[in-house]
Amino acid sequence: MKSPTFTALGGTLGIDFINTMQHHRGQTVNLLNTPDAVVRWLAFIRHAGRLRVASWETLAPGPWPTEGLIRFRRDVRLFLDGGMPRDQFLAMLAQAVAAAPLAFQAVDNAERTQLVAIPTIPGSPGLLSLLAFDWLDLVVSGAVDAVSRCQNGPCLAYFLDPRGRRKWCSMDTCGNRQKNARYYAKANRIDVDGLVRGGNDAETPRVKAAR
């Protein structure tokens, strides 16, 4: 089994952030347990295309206290699991943005001009504001309704699934595990229809594995 590692499978910066809590060998693993780990995640997510250069340059100087980031991740996951009312969640997000106001840049892409949020404060406060804005956008746009959890039971990953067809965070990991589990369960299921009964001298039951 692979060791926990950063992923960019969620679809947005905010979803990738909450996926820094993972399940491994029966335990929950926090991938942002130190300031250095936060910086490594930020570099990873920048390389994955989730973080613009302007945001990276503003955030990079730090500092990187982890307490607020971990609390934010916990609250987002609580909301997604149905444990926090929508109004309370929106108020929490608005408070995070107000504590570290964002700037905006107009960016042209192939289809339209898009307003992109850029943090104005470095380190954890600026990152929290950027993450909160991403989740605000998901909620206000209604896209949060397309945020799904991986169907591999122990997995803690979420992802954006606008078409409603995706089951796994990754086919290479959770998808294959589930397919293998179903195969072995089917191969080892006992077919009791082949049992032969008699009197006291009944022959030994014949047991076969279904295929």
Quick check: helix, strand or coil at residue 2?
coil
Q: What is the pLDDT of residue 196?
A: 44
pTM over 0.85: no
- Determine whether 149 is exposed, middle or buried from the number of CB atoms within 10 Å of its CB (0-12, 13-18, 19+): middle
> Which band of pLDDT confidence, cut at 50, 70 and 90, is reported for residue 170?
confident
Crossing angle of helices 123-141 and 86-99, in 10° steps, is: 140
Read off the pLDDT of residues 46-101 as tens digits, 9 standing for 90 and up.
999 999 999 999 999 999 999 999 999 999 999 999 999 999 999 999 999 999 99
Domain regions of the chain by residue span: 13-163, 178-209
Residue 151 phi/psi, 5-degree rounding, is: -85, 0
Q: What percentage of residues in the chain have a pLDDT greater than 90? A: 64
Amino acid at 209: A
Please provide the DSSP assignment of 3-24 as one string.
PP-----SSSHHHHHHTTEEEE
- According to the CATH classification, is domain 13-163 in 1.10.3300.10? yes
Q: How many angstroms separate the Cα of 78 from the Cα of each of 49, 65, 70, 95, 179?
A: 27, 21, 12, 17, 29
